[in-house]
Structure 1
Amino acid sequence: MIKNRVRELRQQKNVTQIQMARDLQITRQTLIAIERHKYHPSLELAFRIARYFGKRVDEVFLWEEDGD
């Protein structure tokens, strides 16, 4: 399962969902889905999100094994 820290990092940066979505040129609905772990962004968008926060991709998106 892939988890992410997008909401946490966005709040630390004190940026609204609307502003972040505009900055990344995505819809607010897409950002909401990412933050709720309902949508996994493309690799390109994952890199753009990581760069937005000044982080590496693996610092924003985390792989958690489900125990299988």
Structure 2
Amino acid sequence: MKNRLKVLRAERDWTQANLADAVDVSRQTINAIEKGKFDPSLPLAFKFSRLFNTPIEAIFFDEGDR
């Protein structure tokens, strides 16, 4: 699954650690999600959605969707 987390994070000038703190996970988890090595749980995806005020499907998408 692809995602726009790195772009959304950069727009706010946040580090991976800043984002990790905001959603209560480790920086390593953010790194793995951004690199596509790990797909977030649904509750975590909702946290990202609320934090960035963006629909989940605008943050996370299947490679064939774009």
Q: How many angstroms apart in 2 are the aligned matches of 1:64 and 1:21?
A: 24
Unpaired stretches in structure 2, ≥5 consecutive residues: none
Question: Which residue is 1:44 aligned to?
Answer: 43
TM-score by length of 1: 0.88
* Residue type at the aligned position of 2:54: K
Larger Rg: 1
Unpaired stretches in structure 1, ≥5 consecutive residues: none
C-alpha RMSD over aligned residues? 0.8
Question: Which residue is 2:61 aligned to?
Answer: 62
Whose helix proportion is higher, 1 or 2? 2
Question: What displacement does 1:64 show?
Answer: 2.4
Runs of 4+ in structure 1 deviating by more than 3 angstroms, as ranges, are none
Q: How many angstroms apart in 1 are the aligned matches of 2:20 and 2:39?
A: 15
Q: Percent identity?
A: 39
